Amino acid sequence: MARKKISEYRAKQILTKALELPYEGVCVDADHLLQHESIDSNKLYVVKVDEGVKKRMKQGLVLLKQTAKEIPQAIVSLQQKGYTHFIIEQFIPHEKTEEKYLSLSLTREGIVVLYSDKGGIDVEEKQETIKKIVISNDKEKSRSDLSSIAWFRDDKRKEIAAKLIEIFNKYHFTLLEINPLVITKDSIYFLDIAAEVDNAAEFFVDAAWKDEDYRESDRRTKTEEEEAIEKLSQKSQASFKLEVLNADGSVFMLLSGGGASIVLADEVYNVGHGKELANYGEYSGNPNAEEVYLYTKNLISLLLKSKAQKKVLIIAGGVANFTDVRLTFAGIIKALDAEKDALRDQNIKVFVRRGGPHQKEGLANMQNFLQKEALLGNVSGPEMPLQEIVTLALKTI
Amino acid sequence: MIDIERLREKEARVITIGSYPAIIQSILDFDYLAKKAQPSVIAIIATGRNNERYFFGKKEILIPVYATTGAIPTKKKEQCTFFLNLSSGRRVLHSTQDLLDTFPNIAGGVIFAEGVPETHALTLYNKAVKNKQFIVGPSSIGLLIPGCLKLGAIGGVDMPQLTDAKLFSSGSVAVLSASGGMTNEIITTVVQLGKRVSFALSFGGERYPVTTPKDAFLAAENDPQTEAIVYFGELGGTDEHAIAALLCEKKITKKVICYIAGAIAEMFETPPQFGHAKALAATQEETAAGKRKVLQAAGADVASSYTEFIDLITALPNASEELENVADVAHGLRERQKSLISTSISGDKDGQPHLLNEDLLTFTNNNSFATVVASLFLGKKVKSKELELFVDFVLRLLVDHGPYVSGAMNTIITARAGRDLVSSLSAGLLTIGPRFGGAINQAAENWLRGVADTKSPGAFVEEFASKRKYISGIGHKKYRVDLPDPRVVEIKKFAEKLSVKKYTTFALGVEKITAAKKGNLILNVDGAIAAVLLDILSEKEKIDEQELQRLTEIEFFNAFFVLSRSVGFISHFLDQKRLDEGLFRLPDHLVTQADFDEE
């Protein structure tokens, strides 16, 4: 659970719908192919990458004033840069001076509103023009708070800002950056939007946004193993994470616990083997044996695929509060057992350090299995300091 | 803000929202090993059964389960001092607010769930600040004060974990972390290195912990038993900058040892999203290195590696006093087994039969039959003379109502078929139900609901009328408003001596309306017994509304009829045997062939 960027297309749909404004943007990706009937051959368009990328204009990921005929070629040119999600909107002619900057972000103190009269792509270089106010969580107070920025003293603008704050709260946005924002006599244009939502609140937004709207800034294609773990995590009460850092790395880690997993990954880096670290990941929240089996199976699949000469598997975690070591280890052993021959062929040793409920039985089972299958590096309980298992394991590569 | 020293003195009475048996059991084990006289968890809000079984030591106990906060007796609400919210992330806001709004003496609690929306956490933060209550979490493994309080899974859920971590005598090292796993890891390390924990708190890895790391540090600073703070932090967020500011301002003067994880992130242009929601550095100051630097500059002992972190903890002074060993006690608990049945009314003690914790003979010698009956039915000793006298009267009153009624008929027919006493009695008892003899309980439900909903008797009657339903407790075949049932007159006399008698008043209010519509719609014996019994239980036995509700759910009010009328059925059996009546068969003329009109 964390903050997630959502597509500009979805953010604009939510905003325009709530403000009762028309929106004619078109989303183009693998699931939504370009529909020529929605493009007017007499108008000019903007074609943009819609993947939560920062500084698109400067990176050439926004193509302005495209005619209907030019759009397919524009998309192809962006696809060649490795992008897959696009948004097509009508080009809105306007003066540079009309460009405003408005950003809302959630903090503990309330919603931080940033505003600048001089919006546009280079707003960051005009820090001194940015005004800041914090809208307290108290709904009554929030309207009056706005008045401290002169620009909002205009009734219409104040109304828009108040409405945006309402939408921001209602749909659990954590960031809403509109730049440029153009307000003319007749309408409001959100030319570019960057939006982030709190994905823990998906249940409460009535499908206004959902997981298919998430846009990762990391565009690296995921391995099938990572995708399998993402699905596993979505379906489980417990939590699973797996990210490949170096597919041909030599140090593979099967870790438990959000905090301990960073300590252990840190240790690999601290002793100078960071580049060889193949993955980061962790499971926590007392998963059942079957889930841990699936998690381990995917990790072993990555481990066996790695082209590194020497490889090692570290299974480690802190002293768990309520994750059952015996049960989770049963899942790990089952997965190791299924690939024991391949692991032995590649001369991979397994290093284990763990504590928690039923640690005695869990560690003993692990020790027996690894010994029997000639995979044993080391098996230790809490008597061994957490990071030491990494030092031991790294000695073998 | 948490005042640890005050919490040490407070007697812990915990209500859990949701049930997580392993965690609840671990709290009870902690209580037992800490030599508390009573378990700290006193109620569970969950769906399902009325009770959950747990061990307190070797003994099994029942913890009451309530579906809603509304179903919890007021007295119990007042007793609760802490809460532990084990419900899912999406339910946290609503359930916590509901609890804080309806429980008057809650000092604070822990929220266990991950995935609580940020704005929900912030709403709870504002509420906690306003009410001066503490909330640890969301996504917190809990708060632990050795020997005093275990609020959550913190410290482990397995008995050997609790004893290994020496959580029963207080030390001087406060362990603080967002990470639940690392909190426990560090507790283990601290203890293995010969120190003891003063308290441990995991504020949770979500973006907006209600108890902030800053609050937790101040709690440690203000705690007289804490001498050093061991902190485990991660990249992401700016909490450490707030902590550094406290150090610079000398608001934290105690020794601070810390490790900030996340150096690995510096290897990547786009670092992975680590395990905790917050663990992502957006700016330089949010990186592990940035945090280390600022803490170091502020005077904290910042470890550059985990090995150094352990070295820094090792250098803390060792716990001096010889601590008692609870491992033996814990070992004795390993063999405990769940019992097959549980009971709260009777059993052997030291080989002697006991009723309600009193020796059987003492109990029977000192109490009338009515007291024995009412006490066992209630599951606790009757306190008032009023209840004793009323039950005595009711038991006598309901004994028999002639051979005409269903139950007596069945008993007689069975006896005449040559069956034995128990078969004939059972045949009679099996007729007791919604139409015969089972109306006292339904009537009690009616009066309870009527009073609880604070409806007028008129509105109450209207509700039944609109659904075309009978009101249990109202109506008689023979007696009318101008020909009152003499038994009801007698029953009502018992209410006269009561002061409030809200149930009887309500029942009479209903009768006034129904009898005006139709003369025989009067308060009947069932309705009158139910009303008077409710009033006596409420006024004289001090049983609150929720508990009365539970009594109706378990058919308590029907029990008096079943017991009393059994005497009647047995009498009819004996009577038939004495008279030596032959097999019963209905003469043909008493049976009508019913023709259904097919059209």
CB within 8 Å: A201 and B22: no
> Which tokens is A27 given?
């989303």
Residues A245 and A354 in one domain: yes
Residue A151 lies in a domain: yes
Largest CA distance in chain B: 107
Higher pLDDT, A359 or A185: A359
CA–CA distance, A268 with A252 (Å, rounded to integer)? 10
B276 vs A108, A258, A263: nearest CB: A258
Asked if B565 contacts B394 with a C-beta cutoff of 8 angstroms, the reply is no
A217-273: pLDDT as tens digits: 665 678 999 999 999 998 998 999 999 999 999 999 999 998 999 999 999 999 999
Residue A283 lies in a domain: yes
Give every strand in the sheet of B142-145, ordered side by side.
Answer: B149-151, B142-145, B197-202, B173-177, B228-234, B255-261, B301-302
Residues A29 and A128 in one domain: no
CA–CA distance, B51 with B56 (Å, rounded to integer)? 15
Residues B252 and B375 in one domain: no
CA–CA distance, B494 with B488 (Å, rounded to integer)? 10
Residues B362 and B307 in one domain: no
Cβ contacts of residue A105 below 8 Å, gap of 6+?
Answer: A111, A112, A114, A174, A175, A176, A177
Query: Shortest Cα distance from B205 to chain A (angstroms)?
Result: 8
Which residues in B lie closer than 8 A to residue A259 (C-beta atoms)? 177-182, 185, 205, 232, 234, 261, 275-276
Of A155-164, A205-214, B244-253, which gets the smallest average pLDDT? A155-164
Residue B349 lies in a domain: no
Residue B465 lies in a domain: yes
Residue A16 lies in a domain: no
CA–CA distance, B215 with B152 (Å, rounded to integer)? 19
CB within 8 Å: B267 and A321: no
Residue B423 lies in a domain: yes
Crossing angle, helix A155-170 and helix A139-146, to 10 degrees?
140
Q: Which of B275, B293, B296, B295 is nearest to B284 (CA)?
A: B293
Provide the CATH number for the domain around residue A344.
3.40.50.261
Average pLDDT, stretch B399-416? 95
CA–CA distance, B566 with A168 (Å, rounded to integer)? 69
A322 vs B23, B234, B272: nearest CB: B23
Query: Shortest Cα distance from B168 to chain A (angstroms)?
Result: 17
Ranked by mean pLDDT, the top range of A82-91, A110-119, A339-348, B320-329 is A339-348
CA–CA distance, A90 with A24 (Å, rounded to integer)? 8
> Which tokens is B424 given?
């004939």
Q: What is the pLDDT of residue B149?
A: 96
CA–CA distance, A198 with B311 (Å, rounded to integer)? 39
Q: Which of B97, B291, B292, B104 is nearest to B210 (CA)?
A: B97
- Residue B325 DSSP symbol: P
CA–CA distance, B152 with B135 (Å, rounded to integer)? 12
Q: Residue A299, SS3?
A: helix
Amino acid at A110: G
Q: What are phi and psi of A348, to 5 degrees?
A: -95, 130
Q: What are phi and psi of B428, to 5 degrees?
A: -65, -45
**Torsion sign, CA atoms A217, A221, A224, A226:** negative
Q: What is the pLDDT of residue B276?
A: 76
Note if the bond before B117 is cis, omega within 30 degrees. Answer: no
Q: What is the pLDDT of residue A58?
A: 86
Name residues 29-48 of chain B within 8 A of A (Cβ). none
Residue B70 lies in a domain: yes
Residues A100 and A153 in one domain: yes
Residues A85 and A105 in one domain: no
- Residue B523 DSSP symbol: B
Residues A56 and A103 in one domain: no
Of A239-253, A271-285, B199-213, B337-351, which gets the smallest average pLDDT? B337-351
Residue A200 lies in a domain: yes
Residues B129 and B43 in one domain: yes
- The percent helix, strand, coil of chain A (3-state, each to 5) is 40, 25, 35
Does B94 qualify as catalytic in the annotation?
no
Residue B344 lies in a domain: no
Average pLDDT, stretch B498-503? 93
CA atoms within 13 A of residue B171's CA, in its CB half-sphere: 28
The alpha carbon of B165 is separated from its chain's Cα centroid by a whole number of angstroms, namely 29
CA–CA distance, B235 with A268 (Å, rounded to integer)? 17
Work out the pLDDT band at B256, boundaries 50, 70, 90. Answer: very high
Q: What is the pLDDT of residue B331?
A: 75
Residues B471 and B570 in one domain: yes
**Torsion sign, CA atoms B267, B272, B273, B274:** negative
Amino acid at B89: G
Asked if B283 contacts B338 with a C-beta cutoff of 8 angstroms, the reply is no
Question: How far is the CA of A142 from the CAs of A111, A112, A136, A152, A170, in angstroms?
Answer: 9, 11, 6, 13, 15
Q: Which of A192, A213, A234 is the last residue of a domain?
A: A213
CB within 8 Å: B274 and A258: yes
Q: Which of A90, A114, A130 is the last residue of a domain?
A: A90
Note if the bond before B138 is cis, omega within 30 degrees. Answer: yes
Q: Which of A194, A213, A232 is the last residue of a domain?
A: A213
Crossing angle, helix B502-517 and helix B457-466, to 10 degrees?
50
Size of chain B in residues: 599
> Which tokens is B11 given?
């007697």
- Residue A209 DSSP symbol: S
- Please say if the pLDDT value at position A361 is more than 80: yes
Residues A200 and A100 in one domain: yes
Asked if A47 contacts A63 with a C-beta cutoff of 8 angstroms, the reply is yes
Question: How far is the CA of B285 from the CAs of A301, B197, B209, in angstroms?
Answer: 37, 31, 19
Which residues in B lie closer than 8 A to residue A137 (C-beta atoms)? 122-123, 126
Ranges of beta strands (E only) in B278-387 are: 301-302, 346-349, 352-355, 358-359
Size of chain A in residues: 397
Residues A193 and A244 in one domain: no
Residues B484 and B570 in one domain: yes
pTM of the complete model: 0.81
Query: Shortest Cα distance from A189 to chain B (angstroms)?
Result: 28
Residues B312 and B435 in one domain: no
Residue B347 lies in a domain: no
Residues A55 and A80 in one domain: yes
Asked if B198 contacts B170 with a C-beta cutoff of 8 angstroms, the reply is yes
Q: Which of A103, A121, A5, A7 is nearest to A58 (CA)?
A: A121
Q: What is the pLDDT of residue A24?
A: 87
Work out the pLDDT band at B324, boundaries 50, 70, 90. Answer: low
- State how beta strands A45-49 and A86-90 pair: antiparallel
Asked if A84 contacts A29 with a C-beta cutoff of 8 angstroms, the reply is yes
**How many separate domains does chain B show?**
2
Residue A73 lies in a domain: yes
Crossing angle, helix B385-397 and helix B369-378, to 10 degrees?
100
Query: Kind and range of the H or E element at A161?
Result: helix A155-170
Work out the pLDDT band at B477, boundaries 50, 70, 90. Answer: confident
Residues A228 and A287 in one domain: yes
Q: What is the pLDDT of residue B342?
A: 79
Residues A181 and A40 in one domain: no
A55-80: pLDDT as tens digits: 888 888 999 998 888 999 999 999 99
B306–A contact, CB cutoff 8 A? yes
Asked if A233 contacts A240 with a C-beta cutoff of 8 angstroms, the reply is yes
Asked if A388 contacts A382 with a C-beta cutoff of 8 angstroms, the reply is no
Percent with pLDDT over 90 in chain A: 64
Q: Residue B498, SS3?
A: coil
Residue B402 domain boundaries: 358-580
Asked if B2 contacts B90 with a C-beta cutoff of 8 angstroms, the reply is no
Residues B136 and B31 in one domain: yes
Average pLDDT, stretch B346-363? 90
Cβ contacts of residue A345 below 8 Å, gap of 6+?
Answer: none
**How many separate domains does chain A show?**
3
Asked if B202 contacts B178 with a C-beta cutoff of 8 angstroms, the reply is yes
Average pLDDT, stretch B175-193? 94
Q: What is the pLDDT of residue A1?
A: 55
Crossing angle, helix B421-429 and helix B406-416, to 10 degrees?
150
- Please say if the pLDDT value at position A386 is more than 90: yes
CB within 8 Å: A319 and B118: no
B100-131: pLDDT as tens digits: 999 999 999 999 998 899 999 999 999 999 99
B86–A contact, CB cutoff 8 A? no
Q: Which of B319, B345, B377 is the last residue of a domain?
A: B319
Average pLDDT, stretch A264-286? 93
B281-296: pLDDT as tens digits: 777 888 999 999 999 9
Question: How far is the CA of A284 from the CAs of A243, A302, B179, in angstroms?
Answer: 15, 20, 11
B184–A contact, CB cutoff 8 A? yes
Residue A293 domain boundaries: 224-394
Which residues in A lie closer than 8 A to residue B310 (C-beta atoms)? 385
ipTM greater than cut 0.95: no
Residues B222 and B90 in one domain: yes
Provide the CATH number for the domain around residue A107.
3.30.470.20
Residue B338 lies in a domain: no
B270–A contact, CB cutoff 8 A? yes
Cβ contacts of residue B586 below 8 Å, gap of 6+?
Answer: none
Residue A199 lies in a domain: yes
| Cross-strand pairs, A110 | A107
Residue B173 lies in a domain: yes
- Please say if the pLDDT value at position A140 is more than 60: no
Residue A218 lies in a domain: no
CA–CA distance, B402 with B380 (Å, rounded to integer)? 34
Cβ contacts of residue A378 below 8 Å, gap of 6+?
Answer: A351, A352, A353, A389, A392, A393
- State how beta strands B197-202 and B173-177 pair: parallel
Residue A1 lies in a domain: no
CA–CA distance, A327 with A291 (Å, rounded to integer)? 10
Residues B314 and B363 in one domain: no
Residues A186 and A248 in one domain: no
What mean pLDDT is reported for chain B?
A: 92
Name residues 537-576 of chain B within 8 A of A (Cβ). none
Average pLDDT, stretch A99-106? 93
Q: Which of B6, B9, B8, B18 is nearest to B43 (CA)?
A: B18
Residues A64 and A182 in one domain: no
Residue ranges in B253-359 assigned as alpha helix (H): 288-297, 306-314, 327-332
Cβ contacts of residue B472 below 8 Å, gap of 6+?
Answer: B439, B442, B443, B445, B446, B526, B527
Active-site annotation holder among B120, B241, B276, B572: B276
Which residues in A lie closer than 8 A to residue B179 (C-beta atoms)? 257-260
Query: Kind and range of the H or E element at A142?
Result: helix A139-146
Residues B468 and B521 in one domain: yes
CA–CA distance, B385 with A1 (Å, rounded to integer)? 61
Ranked by mean pLDDT, the top range of A99-113, A352-366, B156-170 is A352-366
CB contact burial A204-230 (16+ within 10 A = b; e otherwise): bbeebbeeebbbeeebeeebebbebbb
